[in-house]
Amino acid sequence: MAATPPAAAIPHEAAAPPTAGWVLHAEIAVVGAGPAGIAAASRAAEAGRDVVVLDAAPRPGGQIWRHRRREELPARARAWLERFDRSGARLIAGAQVVDAWTAADAWAAAGSRGAAPEGFRLVAEVDGERLEVAADRVILATGARELFLPFPGWTLPNVFGVGGAQALVKAGASFAGKRVVVAGSGPLLLAVGATLASQGARVAVVAEQASRAALARFGAALLLRSPGRIAQAARLRSALGGARYAVGCWVTRADGDDAVREVTLTDGRRSWTEPCDVLCTGYGLVPNTELAEMLGCGVDGGRVRVDEWQRTSVAGVYCAGEPTGIAGVDAALAEGEIAGAHAVATSGAAGTPGTAGAADDRRRLFRIRRREHGVARALERAFTLRAELRDLPRGDTILCRCEDVTRGMVDPAWSFRQAKLYTRIGMGPCQARVCGPACEFLFGWRGQTTRVPTAPAEVRTLAGESGGAGAEG
Amino acid sequence: MGRPDAIVVGGGIIGAACAYELARAGMRVLVLDAACVGGGTTAAGMGHVVVMDDSEAQFALSAYSTRLWHELEPELPRAAEVDRCGTLWVAEDDEQLEALHAKHAYYLARGVEAEVVDGADVARLEPNLRAPLAGGLRVPGDRVVYPPYVARWLVDRARDLGATVREGCAAERLEDRAVVAGGERLEADVVIDAAGVAAARLIPDLPIVPRKGHLAITDRYPGFCRHQLVELGYHKSAHTMTSESVAFNVQPRATGQLLIGSSRELVGWDASPNRSILQRMLRRAMEFMPGLARLTVIRTWVGFRPATPDKLPLIGRWPALEGVWVAAGHEGLGITTSLGTARLLADQILGREPAVDPAPFRPDRVFAPHE
């Protein structure tokens, strides 16, 4: 007969509650302290709501207003940060949100009976400690990340994303004296080129893959919608110093032994090499939709679906800024204000009716949002990525850095799911945040699934343990 | 391809092994999968090839299958991630230690290599386990594989032998010597329902229910543990069908990652994460390995084991339909028993003498209403 262990071997028969440890309560929880999150939190807190803001960075501002000292920032950014400071919203900096759920769903999943609880739960890691936030409303302002496209040599040291390079500069890294090539697509190339030039870098060339004709059409569209941007672009051009702005050109490969030494550029007819110490590439931005997906919010074409009040498909969850579509800082601020004001109107204790804002205020915000999304659509058309970029990876070019999966290991006829199953692509620590969008561009693969945790988290965090109680338990 | 000799419904590890086995016997095989090869329960499990002893029949099939894995191993490419790490069953107290000795005697009597180690040796073998533990049972012949790749590899080998594979093709129903799929009636002398947890959708009388489980995988920590570590209480967790349960079950992957399990729930097809049981599962793992607490989890997921009332798979002819066979219901042991299942089924289809007594696995056996 088989050896059967005693019944006492079964641990933990009693049902544990879905949550344990310390829970912070708030009427409104905002995830992300970039422009959208700052605007949403300020509006809601100014109206008297109890607002908690969670952000992974040490200081508020998000990617675009990343800073060490506020004096470095433009006046409008400083004004918003000061308003945010005064609003009474509680910022928890260094808080990486790793999980989120609706209280009712967790209740049901645990097989609990009776009236389901309302609201939402967020779990964050702060300095390695678990923090759980319970909130009536959630505003997701999770921003966007860079789109990386693979080409031979893209994993060499000193090949950066343009956003990454800008973050390095803001963190105090020096590019002084370095010979830099900036390549890819979109207005961010000029901005990064100008930043690096102002830091003393020798920017050799800024290569824009979009065609001259497409850019001309975009220029015309800008003149109609946002003439100020033309002057802005011209200022950036002049700030580049001696750098060439090469339109209709793209990087086909980067070479070097211990780091990048030269890049090969082409305009589709001829190719040439540029020696360099640093290559910054940028092909656009990808909305961060993981947390929205985790909460069950509808996502269409990689964007969180929202209505005119920035409400997602899940009642009580709002989304503002880049996750709803890449539209820049002005749209993010307007959407944040709209979401914050509306969350005020629909939350809070009885007897403190909120307001969705005065009508003229509402019209102003709606107008900005409409205008900026119009510009964004024109941008998207002008900077559409050319098909030639799909042919750049060779058989031995890495697609997935976490798992060392090359182009040659995957079959374009597969789905992303199949590629994951058979090659482990996208299964590493970044969970396809980098290679997923690249593969979508290269092969048309979609349909990644978001799983707990939405960012890497310690075992004890997911185990519901806070503080040092875990090991002794 | 003309009329196939055999249609295998389901490209999980069971269907893949069946396809390979029948193709090797010279049959023209067609494999259908509703989604993709190896993408269902096969992709959700741990990939632990382990000799189990809940019943004589389970032991016979798992020990036989483990030998077949051993024979196949030289052919498997590196991507199959075969790791001959063995299993270390750990006992927490004297009562479990007694059960551990009984398990040892059972294995020895049946020719399975195993050794009992004391608490001090457990601590030496696996320094990250909590000390002191009462003892352990090392089963060196057990191993770990990467199941979705192996399923793909088995199907590709069947393809080399003339098999055809249709992915994204969901079978709608089975008839005498036929499968209706994608609005088409596909005929073959042999039709195998190897649809795993979905097998009962094609043959509603099959007593298979989805048994939900959670797993977590960490970042890479090479050497953190060296064996597949399982608490002796796992048997009880796996065996009890009435309530939800968790057990300590940690596996080192070839990548240096750790898989942390395991949980069992009967909640139908609800695939949403149950944070309550995930927490319990991880806490149980931390009790045995306190150092796990500060390791980083990069992903958790949910899968459904195809569970039967007596914890034994359904392998053999389905008498209600002509030419229809079943290979399904392997609960959490499908990776281990896939190769043995395929051989056992092929033996019956081809009229060969099976190496394992097929009687306990008959799909039309009578189940006791309650255990």
Do residues B90 and B13 both lie within one domain? no
Q: Chain A 109-168, CB below 8 Å of chain B: which residues?
A: 109-111, 128
Do residues B197 and B127 both lie within one domain? no
Confidence at residue A359, expressed as pLDDT on a 0 to 100 scale: 84
Asked if A14 has any chain B CB less than 8 Å from its own CB, the reply is no
Do residues B102 and B185 both lie within one domain? no
Confidence at residue A9, expressed as pLDDT on a 0 to 100 scale: 30
CA angle A269, A272, A274 (to 5 degrees): 145
Do residues B137 and B24 both lie within one domain? no
Q: Which residues of B touch A20 (CB under 8 A)?
A: 279
Q: How far off is chain A from B273, nearest CA to CA, in Å?
A: 8
Q: Which residues of A touch B131 (CB under 8 A)?
A: none
Do residues B255 and B303 both lie within one domain? yes
Q: Which residues of B touch A3 (CB under 8 A)?
A: 53, 99-100, 102-103, 106, 235
Q: Which residues of A touch B271 (CB under 8 A)?
A: none
Asked if A3 has any chain B CB less than 8 Å from its own CB, the reply is yes
Asked if A447 has any chain B CB less than 8 Å from its own CB, the reply is no
Please answer yes or no on whether A417 and B278 come within 8 Å at the CB atom.
no
Please answer yes or no on whether B233 and A11 come within 8 Å at the CB atom.
yes
CATH topology of A23-144+286-357 equal to that of A148-283? yes
Residue B160 has pLDDT above 60, yes or no: yes
- Mutation site, A122, A421, A458, interface B, largest B CB count within 10 A: A421
How high is the mean pLDDT of chain A? Answer: 88
Q: How far off is chain A from B240, nearest CA to CA, in Å?
A: 10
Q: How far off is chain B from A422, nearest CA to CA, in Å?
A: 5
Confidence at residue A224, expressed as pLDDT on a 0 to 100 scale: 66
Confidence at residue A13, expressed as pLDDT on a 0 to 100 scale: 30
Give residue-wise pLDDT tens across range A72-116.
899 999 999 999 999 999 999 999 999 999 988 877 777 777 777
Asked if A99 has any chain B CB less than 8 Å from its own CB, the reply is yes
Question: Which class in CATH covers the domain with range A148-283?
Answer: alpha beta
Interface size between A and B, measured as CB pairs under 8 A: 177
Asked if A272 has any chain B CB less than 8 Å from its own CB, the reply is no
Please answer yes or no on whether A460 and B290 come within 8 Å at the CB atom.
no
Confidence at residue A21, expressed as pLDDT on a 0 to 100 scale: 53
Q: Kindly state whether residue B162 falls inside one of the protein's structural domains.
A: yes
Q: What is the ipTM of this complex?
A: 0.94
Give residue-wise pLDDT tens across range A191-216.
899 999 998 999 999 999 999 998 88
Write the single-letter amino acid at B313.
P
Q: Which residues of B touch A413 (CB under 8 A)?
A: none
Confidence at residue A105, expressed as pLDDT on a 0 to 100 scale: 82
Q: Domain coordinates of chain A in residue numbers? A: 23-144+286-357, 148-283, 393-443
For a pLDDT cut of 70, what percent of chain B falls above it? 97
Q: Kindly state whether residue B236 falls inside one of the protein's structural domains.
A: yes
Q: Kindly state whether residue B109 falls inside one of the protein's structural domains.
A: yes
b/e B170-194 (16+ beta carbons within 10 angstroms → b): bbeebeebbbebeeeebebebbbbb
Q: Kindly state whether residue B293 falls inside one of the protein's structural domains.
A: yes
Q: Chain A 399-438, CB below 8 Å of chain B: which residues?
A: 414-415, 417-418, 421-424, 427-429, 431
Do residues B342 and B357 both lie within one domain? yes
Which residue from B100, B282, B298 is facing A463, i.e. has the nearest CB? B282
For a pLDDT cut of 90, what percent of chain A falls above it? 72
Q: Which residues of A touch B243 (CB under 8 A)?
A: 13
Please answer yes or no on whether B295 and A459 come within 8 Å at the CB atom.
yes
Do residues B136 and B152 both lie within one domain? no
Please answer yes or no on whether A415 and B36 come within 8 Å at the CB atom.
yes
- Domain encompassing residue B113: 85-141+209-307
Enter the pTM of the model: 0.92
Q: Which of B266, B286, B307 is the last residue of a domain?
A: B307
Minimum CA–CA partner of A416 in chain B: B36
Minimum CA–CA partner of A473 in chain B: B287
Which residue from A9, A414, A465 is facing B96, i.e. has the nearest CB? A9
Q: Would you tell me how many other CB atoms lie within 10 Å of the CB of residue A410?
A: 23
Give residue-wise pLDDT tens across range B329-345.
999 999 999 999 999 99
Contacts for B39 with CB less than 8 Å, ≥ 6 apart: A417, A418, A421, B11, B33, B148
Least confident of A150-159, A221-230, B349-358: A221-230
Asked if A5 has any chain B CB less than 8 Å from its own CB, the reply is yes
> How would residue A473 be classed by pLDDT, with cut points 50, 70 and 90?
very low
Domain count, chain B: 2
Q: Kindly state whether residue B79 falls inside one of the protein's structural domains.
A: no
CATH 3.30.465.10 is right for the domain spanning A23-144+286-357? no
- Residue A142 DSSP code: -
Kind and range of the H or E run holding A472: helix A469-472
Q: What is the CATH number of the domain that holds B337?
A: 3.50.50.60
Please answer yes or no on whether A106 and B152 come within 8 Å at the CB atom.
no
Confidence at residue A116, expressed as pLDDT on a 0 to 100 scale: 77
